[in-house]
Structure 1
Amino acid sequence: MNDVYAAELQASLLLFDNGQSKAALESARYSVASGRASLLNVEQEVLFAAITAYMDVIQAQEFVRIARNDVKVLGEQLDATNNRFEVGEVTRTDVSQTEARLAQSRANLVDSQGALQIARQDYLAAVGVLPG
Structure 2
Amino acid sequence: MRRAPRAAGPHGDSGAVTAELAVLLPTVVVLLLVLLVVGSVGMTLLQVAGAARAGARAASLGEDAAAVTSAARRVAGDAAAVRTDGSDGWVTVLVSRGVGTGWLSFDVTGTSTAWVEQ
- Per the normalisation by structure 2, the TM-score is 0.52
Give a deviation string over 1:45-84, Cα, whole Å, max 9, x none: 111111111111111111111110011011122x1x7xxx
How far, CA to CA, are the matches of 1:114 and 1:103 in structure 2?
13
Paired positions, count: 84
Aligned pairs for 1:1-132 (under 5 A) are 22-23=7-8, 29-77=13-61, 79=62, 100-107=66-73, 108=76, 109-110=80-81, 113-116=96-99, 118=100, 122=104
How far, CA to CA, are the matches of 2:48 and 2:41 in structure 1?
11
How far, CA to CA, are the matches of 1:58 and 1:70 in structure 2?
19
Asked if the contact 2:59–2:68 (Cα under 8 Å) also holds between the matched residues in 1, the reply is yes
Letter in 1 for 2:81: V
Q: Which has the higher strand share?
A: 2
Q: Which has the higher helix share?
A: 1
Asked if the contact 1:64–1:113 (Cα under 8 Å) also holds between the matched residues in 2, the reply is yes
Q: Which runs of 5+ in 1 are unaligned?
A: 1-21, 82-97, 125-132
Q: What is the alpha-carbon root mean square deviation over aligned residues? A: 3.5
How far, CA to CA, are the matches of 1:103 and 1:37 in structure 2?
51
Q: Which runs of 5+ in 2 are unaligned?
A: 1-6, 83-94, 107-118
Asked if the contact 1:71–1:105 (Cα under 8 Å) also holds between the matched residues in 2, the reply is yes
Deviation at 1:115, TM superposition (A): 2.5
**Structure of higher RCO (CA pairs closer than 8 Å, 6+ residues apart):** 1
Asked if the contact 2:54–2:71 (Cα under 8 Å) also holds between the matched residues in 1, the reply is yes
Which deviates further from its counterpart, 60-69 or 32-41? 32-41
1:30 aligned counterpart, secondary structure: coil
User: Which consecutive segments of 4 or more residues in structure 1 shift more than 3 A?
Assistant: 23-26, 98-101, 106-109
